[in-house]
Structure 1
Amino acid sequence: MKFNIYHSLLVEEKPSKVFNAISLPKHLDNWWTLKSSGEPKFGVEYNLNFTDKYDWYCKVSKIEPNKSIHFKMTKSDADWNPTTFGFDLKETENGTLVEFSHVNWVNQNHHFKHSSFCWALLLNGLKNYLEKGTIVPFEERN
């Protein structure tokens, strides 16, 4: 049995701006990573660096510009390695519906539950970044 994390949120911004914020390193570093690299193209490797201990890698496994991007973990910890996370965007009357998923967890353990909670906080940070221009310093992100 596999376990999955799902979150949905409305961001009052155009899908193109949301897509850039979830796919371009210069934006990822403002709401999620300490420093990152990569390019939103199928098969391209991203480096997601949080600290020296948490210096992880993933590859773009699905992409449709301004609509969807998913990443398959390739080098991380044992819990994250089999997983894929992604963002599906739907334009609405009031902005963009972001449907987030982080799937294929092997265990529904503490790390799974903690990651779900952290994703909720980070996605709220993404929303505040896009709507208000808020950048929370990396050291203050959970």
Structure 2
Amino acid sequence: MTKNKNTGFSIYHNLLVNASPERIFVAITVPKHLNNWWPLKSSGTPELNSIYNFNFTDAYNWYGKVIECKENASFFIKMTDSDEDWNPTTFGFTLEEKENGTYVRFSHTGWPKDNDHLKHSSFCWAMLLNGLKNYVEKGTIIPFEERE
């Protein structure tokens, strides 16, 4: 995790996924695919200014706005209605095609505090991104109750 004096604390994770940028883009933007590796249920369309809903439970029913969407290349969401720590944050993906797959650069920036929630979220993102990798490469779906 790093701190930028203007934007708060940030989480970064990079991974190589043995799939095309097109397949990964679908998995990170299309709700029926998102639901297979991250939230319980979601809605939204991959286009600039679209609102996404990420429902984890009734108590964690969050919203964010698409602030960058370049098909098969990048996708970023600014949280608009979530908990106190997540609300000022932006998370997203940059995809770079490589000879042996796609390099996925993930970031979750703008955390106001270096607290336990930030550290727990960083761990959870690492686990979830591994789930994304296994979903795209192998079709593995981890039941929602077993996701970190």
TM-score range, shorter chain: over 0.9
Normalized against structure 1, the TM-score is what? 0.99
Post-superposition CA distance 1:89-142 (Å, at most 9, x none): 000001100000000100010000000000000000000001111000001101
Matches of 1:129 and 1:88, distance apart in 2:
18
> For residue 9 of structure 1, what is the aligned residue in structure 2?
15
Normalized against structure 2, the TM-score is what? 0.95
Matches of 1:139 and 1:106, distance apart in 2:
28
Post-superposition CA distance 1:52-110 (Å, at most 9, x none): 00000001001100000000000000000000000000000011000000001000100
> For residue 126 of structure 2, what is the aligned residue in structure 1?
120
Unmatched runs of 5 consecutive residues or more in structure 2: none
- Partner secondary structure for residue 97 of structure 1: strand
Map 1:124-135 onto structure 2 (within 5 A): 124-135=130-141
Map 1:1-142 onto structure 2 (within 5 A): 1=5, 2-142=8-148
Matches of 2:102 and 2:33, distance apart in 1:
17
Matches of 2:9 and 2:67, distance apart in 1:
19
Matches of 2:59 and 2:53, distance apart in 1:
13
1:31 deviates by 0.2
Matches of 1:22 and 1:98, distance apart in 2:
11
Unmatched runs of 5 consecutive residues or more in structure 1: none
Post-superposition CA distance 1:12-38 (Å, at most 9, x none): 000000000000001000000100000
Identity %: 63
Matches of 1:129 and 1:17, distance apart in 2:
10
- Say how many residue pairs are matched: 142
Runs of 4+ in 1 over 6 A off after TM superposition: none
- Partner secondary structure for residue 30 of structure 1: coil
1:49 deviates by 0.3
Matches of 2:11 and 2:49, distance apart in 1:
23
